Amino acid sequence: MDFLTLIQVLDSTVRLSTPLLLACLAGLFSERAGIFDIGLEGKMLAAAFFSAAIAAVTGNVWLGLLAGVTASLVLSALHGLASITFRGNQLISGLAVTMLAQGFTVLVAQSWFKQGGRTPSLLAEGRFGPITFPFADSVAGVPFIGPIYSELLSGHSILVYVAFAAVPATWWILFRTRFGLRLRAVGENPAAVDTAGVSVVGLRFAAVMICGLLCGLAGAYLATSLQAGFVKDMTAGRGYIALAALIFAKWRPWHAMGACLLFGLLQAVALRFQNIELGGLTIPVQAMDALPYILTVVILAGFVGKAIPPKAGGEPYVKER
């Protein structure tokens, strides 16, 4: 593999890992506050549909982004209402959100556009275009530095840069602010937080809504940047892969970025190389396509080391009287 091919693979890795990273950080906020959320997939799917649908109708990608984030926030509010207010089972609530999104996105898409559950292909105004860094074209021919600057760092949509900027922002919020300290405490010992006069319900709802915001950005990126419209089940299990990456990272932001880049790299290699020769053995592209999902199962089965979730995770808080 020559250097330019390597840069192109890494460029695809960045693009493909972006929705995973946004969804992984979304789950990080929610689960650090003690609310397990397997509904990341559903919120991403809803955001992808509404962002593509509104962008197609209005021709304005920013209105599409707003619609997608709003749809994700609504589903997050439903999940919070079921699991925080009514103290329902968090896993069942998250699964219900995903099943709801899988059904109504196709139903509404068919009702609105009559294209078999798809939205119309988005034109240039309905998509996020690439951002070219200064002098990217001028230095493209410079050995080593040029391809890295012009191909790998430059030329991505704004949501890619937002996703990677969200990693240090998440670290700072969780580990350097009072809000982050309280949010992490709610996931470990909500009774102590309540005793200190801080609202457990309020903090958990805040975490769930931040989760909805980030899932909305992830879904909108899929439909208005990575692709040019919505198709049925276009998230393709990315929400569950993001959860696996979160467990692999042991609920830490920087490690989450590394895990998502690993999954993105596997997808990029599968897209780039149809068949891989390894020691005289030909690995078919279908096996490469399956690798991210196989790795997800391996991680969730606990074969990559013990991952200890927040102590109060998955448990509704009942205030003592």
Q: What is the pLDDT of residues 67-93, one digit of tens each?
A: 999 999 999 999 999 999 998 899 999
In this structure, is residue 175 part of a structural domain? yes
In this structure, is residue 196 part of a structural domain? yes
- Domains held by the chain: number: 1
Query: What is the tens place of the pLDDT at every residue in 212-256?
Result: 999 999 999 999 999 999 999 899 889 999 998 898 888 999 999
Residue type, 154: S
Can you list the pairs that 62-67 forms with residues at least 24 positions away whose Cβ atoms lie under 8 Å?
64/126, 64/220, 64/223, 64/224, 65/216, 65/217, 65/220, 65/224
In this structure, is residue 309 part of a structural domain? no
The whole domain housing 118 covers 3-127+144-300
In this structure, is residue 277 part of a structural domain? yes
Distance of CA 79 to the CA centre of its chain: 17
Give the residue from 164, 188, 171, 163 showing the smallest Cα distance to 31: 188
Spell 132-149 as b/e; 16+ CB within 10 A means b. eeeebeebeeeeeebbbb
Tens digit of pLDDT at every position of the chain (321 positions): 578 888 988 999 999 999 999 999 999 999 999 999 999 999 999 999 999 999 999 999 999 999 999 999 999 999 999 999 998 899 999 999 999 999 999 999 999 998 888 999 998 888 999 999 898 888 888 888 888 888 899 999 999 999 999 999 999 999 999 999 999 999 999 999 998 889 999 999 999 999 999 999 999 999 999 999 999 989 988 999 999 889 888 899 999 999 899 889 888 887 777 666 666 666 676 777 777 777 777 766 666 666 778 888 888 887 765
Q: What is the CATH number of the domain that holds 31?
A: 1.10.3470
In this structure, is residue 136 part of a structural domain? no
The pTM is what?
0.93
In this structure, is residue 118 part of a structural domain? yes
Give the residue from 23, 8, 45 showing the smallest Cα distance to 272: 8
pLDDT score of 269: 83
In this structure, is residue 190 part of a structural domain? yes
pLDDT score of 26: 96
In this structure, is residue 134 part of a structural domain? no
